[in-house]
Amino acid sequence: AATLFFNKTGPVPVSSIEDIGRSLSPLAGKYAGYLFAVGLFNASIFGAAILPLSTAFAICEGMGWERGINKTYEEAPLFYWIFTSLIVLGSAIVLIPGASSLYLLIMRVSQVAQGLILPIFLYYLVKLGDNKILLGENVNPRWLSRISWASVILLSLVNLCFLGMAILE
């Protein structure tokens, strides 16, 4: 975003991680590298902690198991086992020497899966937002509901187009 709004010559082509940091120069000047480093560090720390934790919460909630970091290991052993296993698995994958192609495969598969699942989640989310029995007076206004349904339909069509292009390749 910084390159689009603050760079007078237009967007900066990015071919490496160094280029990404350098693209912040119009916004942050000589501190661009530091800004990028802090942002990248923050994202990786949050990702390393929050992703396994939220995944453990989701799995345990879906299965009806005890969950929560406010519970002891004796109260919620499966929650802590899943949380710890996800951290260990992620660490083990990162430590595999020469596995950059594995990283790319994992990232690509997870992004494709998220893209395909998103319209399904949005469908149920919009249905919940339109449910007067559950939400009463807090139900989505009609204009917001229409925009939401249009977004779900548009996203579903885009997914179908991408699937069609992938199959025809």
Domain layout of the chain by residue ranges: 1-95, 98-169
Measured at the alpha carbon of residue 96, what is the angle toward residues 104 and 116, in degrees to the nearest 5?
30
User: What distance lies between CA 44 and its chain's CA centroid?
Assistant: 12
> Global pTM?
0.54
What phi and psi, each to the nearest 5 degrees, are found at residue 15?
A: -125, -5
Which whole number is the average pLDDT over 136-145?
Answer: 94
pLDDT in the model for residue 106? 78
Task: Decide which of 72 and 162 is more confident.
Answer: 72
CA torsion, ordered 102, 106, 111, 112, to nearest 10 deg:
90
CA torsion, ordered 73, 74, 76, 81, to nearest 10 deg:
50
Q: Does residue 23 surpass a pLDDT of 90?
A: no
